[in-house]
Structure 1
Amino acid sequence: MSMADFSILKYLAMIVDVLLVWYVIYKLIMVIKGTKAVQLLKGIFVILLVKVVSDFSGLKTLSWITEQTITWGFLAIIIIFQPELRRALEQLGRGKFFSRTNGQEDDEREKGVEAIVKATDYMAKRRIGALISIERETGMSDYIETGIPLHAKISSELLINIFIPNTPLHDGAVIIQKNNVAAAACYLPLSESPFISKELGTRHRAALGISEVTDSVTVIVSEETGSISLTKNGELHRDLNLTTFKDLLSNELLSKQLDKQTSSTLWNWRGKNHG
């Protein structure tokens, strides 16, 4: 084998090495996404930036302080990021760290959509007010923490029971995270848009508010009229019939996920209406 062949193999190995490192970093970011660890990670970057600036500017005292912080910060990172590190190791042990999805998750997602549609139909016919927000890419952990944790499998019966009037959990929003009912009685931010119709109540404003700050899909059942509405990306779709609602919900939660999986197959390691 010639020296030229060795050089080509060396460069290929370097490229693969860099790609693997970036992929691992990406997966680690996905693990901590939507948690308070993201803010701590930003703090680490600020410390590193201060270190670089202090070295460049000749600020010796500040440079020494940041150097000590970085030196001993490794232990602090292990302590602070303990839940995220544990989650990453669990995913690695289950073989899910390098895989984006599987057939079982797809089936669970479809069953989740069916449960939401069935519960929404039941509550709409009986004018039971409901607010259900489904997390997608943007993490909603901060809003989940405002409610009562459930961590239960999605079922139409559970969703209906939560929103039955005069029960402890009926007031507030249900947040669905990773095909599970993460919490109930959650507080969502109210939209301050001046274009919202005055006839819309708190549920609709909260649904619009969360859709303005996250990419979540939120379902609203009106307590006064029993009408079904859905918000996404700051858009409010009102007075939906059951068929339109099911199609819209499926397109947002299933079709986009399928397109996402198809576009990322080569990178996998394993096989508006305003009210």
Structure 2
Amino acid sequence: MGSQLKQWLINLGWTWSLLPGVIDVGLVLLLAYMILVIIGERRTLWMVRGLIILMLASALSSALGLRFLSFVLEKLVIGSAVAMALILQAEFRRLLEQIGRGEILQLFRPSQEAVPKPDSVIDEIVDAVKELSQNRTGALLILETDRPIDERDFSVPGVRLNAEVSKELLQTIFQTTTLLHDGAVLIRGSRVIAAGVILPISERTASRQLGTRHRAAMGITERVENCVCVVVSEETGSISLAERGTLHRPLTSSKLKDMLRERFSPSVEREVVLGRQLGARTAALLARLFQSKSSASREKK
């Protein structure tokens, strides 16, 4: 009886000694999962994964006693974290706002507002752009690629519509006789969220052939990564696509359709889902590992 009690106390002490490490690893995995849930943009996910790999490499080199390598990686992690804080201002702002409002549980729920655009929605957009181009009617459309855009990134949010995307609606909005034609249309999923949106103008040096619409498309895509802009020139009727501050022009309607389908393909969404499931899968793997260790210790007894 005494030996069994002694063995039980030894096992209890061994368990309590491991508890801080288990909690530490669990909290880190929870934080990584929360960040991957908040961030939905593909390029941003790769940046976060790169930072996590650097942190793991720094911790491993420190554990192995590689002092110089650990020092270099530690400084690289700090510099990368500062750079990401500047690049991902919108994500960090959303995180701090939700924590400040006490909406911590919502951080673990992936946003379901933006959905992949089906081919029918892209067809409606391309058909409208084709008609506007043939009639030389100027147009500017903002298409969200994943999560919603913060309206504070716009100069003027515009007039809210929340209507279903259709070729007739887009053509009507951009007619010069309407009050909403002088601005951009914001499209989220299959809905026209707002019209008459005024965008910030790009400060980069551009060709004199580019008008205000083209510079506005470059300006918003420079500031916000999770969107693309389709522009129809009022003077020439040429079609352009802006993304990350770069303007692709001139485009045919078929080329525009191919580019939109490529950017809104299900493969992009699958990669986002994989990133969001990373924390859960790691937690399940650790749970199996600890279960196997506990079963092995029972067999020894």
TM-score normalised per structure 1: 0.63
2:167 equivalent in structure 1: 156
Q: Check whether the contact 1:132–1:219 (CA below 8 A) recurs between aligned residues.
A: yes
Q: Check whether the contact 1:188–1:210 (CA below 8 A) recurs between aligned residues.
A: yes
1:120 equivalent in structure 2: 129
Q: 1:133 to 1:12 in 2, by over 3 A?
A: same
1:186 equivalent in structure 2: 197
2:290 equivalent in structure 1: none
Whole-Å Cα distance in 2 between the matches of residues 263 and 26 of structure 1?
Answer: 9
1:177 equivalent in structure 2: 188
224, 230, 233: which one pairs with 2:241? 230
SS at match of 2:241: strand
Using the TM superposition, name which of 201-210 and 173-182 deviates more: 173-182
1:1-275 equivalences in 2 (<5 Å): 3=11, 6=15, 10=19, 11-12=21-22, 14-20=24-30, 23-24=33-34, 27=37, 38=93, 41=96, 77-78=100-101, 85=103, 98-99=109-110, 105-106=115-116, 108-136=117-145, 139-142=149-152, 143=154, 145-194=156-205, 196-215=206-225, 216-254=227-265, 257-258=268-269, 260-261=271-272, 263-264=274-275, 266-267=277-278
Which blocks of at least 5 consecutive residues in structure 2 are unaligned? 1-7, 41-88, 282-301
SS at match of 1:131: strand
SS at match of 1:113: helix
SS at match of 1:157: helix
TM-score normalised per structure 2: 0.59
Q: 1:126 to 1:174 in 2, by over 3 A?
A: same
- Number of residue pairs matched? 220
| Greater radius of gyration (CA) | 2
Whole-Å Cα distance in 2 between the matches of residues 218 and 148 of structure 1?
Answer: 18
Per-residue CA shift, 1:30-65, capped at 9, x if unaligned?
Answer: 8xx959x938948x9xxxxxxxxxxxxxxxxxxxxx
Whole-Å Cα distance in 2 between the matches of residues 22 and 206 of structure 1?
Answer: 35
SS at match of 2:264: helix
SS at match of 2:240: strand
Q: Which has the higher contact order (CA 8 A, sep 6+)?
A: 2
Query: 1:203 offset after TM fit, Å?
Result: 1.0
Q: 1:182 to 1:268 in 2, by over 3 A?
A: farther
Whole-Å Cα distance in 2 between the matches of residues 144 and 110 of structure 1?
Answer: 31
Query: 1:201 offset after TM fit, Å?
Result: 1.4
